[in-house]
Amino acid sequence: MLLPGALLATVVLGGATGTAPLRVAAPMNANGHAFGSYGVVGTMVACMVIMTTMSMVCAVFSPVWINRRQTERGRQHRQP
């Protein structure tokens, strides 16, 4: 029953990792110029927090999706 969340994680995290050089390079360069090594570290920490949040959303997706499907099936059977 974890397949929907695993597929979502594959697409979301794989896409985020694949496009990271395009999305992270400019902010890292700008923060590196403005704040030095602290700007680069801050940008990397922010990127890791965002990826971790996306991973948590994907992990929670399967149980929520299964519960919603069961609720919808229950509603369909109760209607005349």
Does residue 80 form part of some domain?
no
Does residue 12 form part of some domain?
yes
* Tally of domains within the chain: 1
Could you read off the pLDDT of 5-36 as tens digits, one per residue? 889 999 999 999 999 999 999 999 999 999 99
Report helix, strand or coil for 34: helix
Q: How confident is the prediction for the chain on average, in pLDDT?
A: 90
Higher-pLDDT residue of 2, 43: 43
Instruction: Output Rg (C-alpha) for the chain, integer angstroms.
Output: 19
Does residue 9 form part of some domain?
yes
| Alpha helices by DSSP H, 36-79 | 37-78
Report helix, strand or coil for 45: helix
Does residue 79 form part of some domain?
no
Q: Which domain holds residue 19?
A: 3-72
**pLDDT at residue 47, rounded to an integer:** 94
Instruction: Kindly state the DSSP code that residue 36 receives in the 8-state scheme.
Output: T
